[in-house]
Amino acid sequence: MNKTVKSLQAVRARIDALDRELLSKISERARLAKEIGLIKRASNPSPVFYRPEREAAVLRAVREANTGPLDDETVAWLFREIMSACLALEQPLKVAYLGPTGTFTEQAAIRAFGHAATLMAEPGITEVFRAVASGSVDFGVVPIENSTEGSISSTLDALADGDAVICGEVTLRIHQQLMGQGESLASLAGQVSRVVSHAKSLAQCRNWLDTHLPGVERVAVVSNGEAARLAAVEKGTLAIGPSIAAERYGLTILSANIEDTPHNSTRFVVIGREPVPPSGADKTSLVLSTENRPGSLNNLLKPLAEAQISMTRIESRPSRHTAWDYIFFIDIEGHQEDPVVADALAVMRQQASMLRVLGSYPKAAI
């Protein structure tokens, strides 16, 4: 046996020993999670098992402690899945998301809650909010804004009109995959009759399609999941969508990351029924309105500037109650329980026609 083989065997033996040690530590963590579940049930008839602020703090700590060679996102993902599996031992979570299966929102829900959560696809954003409000699920995941397409009006309207609380956020890089039946795009030369996808996905890949599939019909369908389903049953039909759609429908990714804008991202929010305590790195979302007179909005927002609270987003929407009357959606840094934020909000409430906190929640940690 030469030295190279001996060296390889020695390294593999060390890996095997580490794997056993890892398994032992993960099992110990799982046993502690079960113990926490028992303690919570004994002390509270309606215990809260999922704590977004706790999980966000753990993931941030993991990223800060990471020294490589795995990157921070990979390490956070590994711990996300460990925590998801351990939480399921306490109480499996039910999470509704904007369906159908095989969409970016399903991908965001998995990113937020891990594979151990029970995911339930709903046909629309309103239905996700309704499922959360009724208590049939613990949380919901819906898109709220895209970096190139702007805000999702249905989500903003549902937040403004309902009682749901924003409990978290997920930001997902939008990579569009061309998928279909076959081994490669070249092997399908002359056989492709149409490309189907959600209208926004088709728009985001327009230049790539013009270059690589000129003259091929493009058909908009209700979702990327539906596009993948059609590609799985129709010869000559290709779909555009997330990689999870190819997994769900048994398709081959024929060309990866075909989006025209490489930095396109979508932000999703996690909605629930109960407010989230501070995590140490939070955001707060507000909806508010003010009188329609010169300088009123500037005066309303002045307490934020005076307290040096960063406003990360502002957008107006028709109030839908009076013609040409508008409400404003605002995101700020900090938690509503932080003294500086609480004081600024108290001053703003005195000046606003309406001000409601939609939720204070941890910044995306994964």
Helices (H), 135-253: 153-161, 199-204, 206-212, 224-233, 243-249
Rounded to the nearest integer, the mean pLDDT of the chain is 92
The pLDDT assigned to 341 comes to 97
Position 112: which residue type? Answer: A
pLDDT higher than 80, residue 322: no
Q: Where in the chain is the domain with CATH 3.30.70.260?
A: 276-362
Q: In b/e form, how buried is each residue of 60-80, taking b as 16+ CB within 10 angstroms?
A: bebbeebeeeeebeebbbebb
Inform me whether the pLDDT recorded for 303 exceeds 90: yes
Please say if the pLDDT value at position 320 is more than 70. Answer: no
Of 121-125, 272-276, 318-322, 330-334, give the lowest mean pLDDT range: 318-322
Which one is catalytic: 104, 129, 139, 268?
268
By mean pLDDT, which of 131-140, 143-152, 195-204 is the weakest?
Answer: 143-152
Among 291, 302, 287, residue whose Cα is nearest residue 160: 287
Cα distances from 216 to residues 120, 173, 189, 195, 236, in angstroms, run: 35, 27, 12, 7, 10
Over its C-alpha atoms, the chain yields an Rg (Å, rounded) of 24
CATH number corresponding to 276-362:
3.30.70.260
In this prediction the pTM is 0.88
Is 322 catalytic? The answer is: no
pLDDT digits (tens, 9 = 90+) for 152-205: 889 999 999 889 999 999 999 999 999 999 889 988 988 999 999 999 899 999
- pLDDT for 83 equals 92
Task: Report how far residue 231's alpha carbon sits from residue 128's, in angstroms, rounded to the nearest whole number.
Answer: 27
**DSSP letters for 96-160:** EEESSSSSHHHHHHHHHH-TTSEEEEESSHHHHHHHHHHTSSSEEEEEEEETTTEE-HHHHHHHH
pLDDT at 321 over 80: no
- The Cα 135–Cα 274 span in angstroms is 12
User: Is position 118 annotated as part of the catalytic site?
Assistant: no
CATH 3.40.190.10 in the chain is located at 177-255
pLDDT of residue 110: 95
Q: How much of the chain, in percent, has pLDDT values that exceed 70?
A: 97
- Distance of alpha carbon 29 from alpha carbon 21, whole angstroms: 12
Q: Which of 103, 105, 266, 290 is catalytic?
A: 266
CATH class of 177-255: alpha beta
Structure confidence by residue, pLDDT tens digits, 64-115:
999 989 999 999 999 999 999 998 988 889 999 998 899 999 999 999 999 9
pLDDT digits (tens, 9 = 90+) for 36-68: 888 988 888 877 888 899 999 999 999 999 998
Confidence class for position 323, pLDDT limits 50, 70, 90: low
- When pLDDT is cut at 50, 70 and 90, the band that residue 221 belongs to is very high
Q: What is the pLDDT of residues 18-29, one digit of tens each?
A: 999 999 999 999
Using the Cα atoms of residue 11, residue 82, residue 113 and residue 103 in order, give the sign of their dihedral. positive
Give the model's pLDDT for residue 291. Answer: 81
- pLDDT band per the 50, 70, 90 thresholds, residue 147: confident
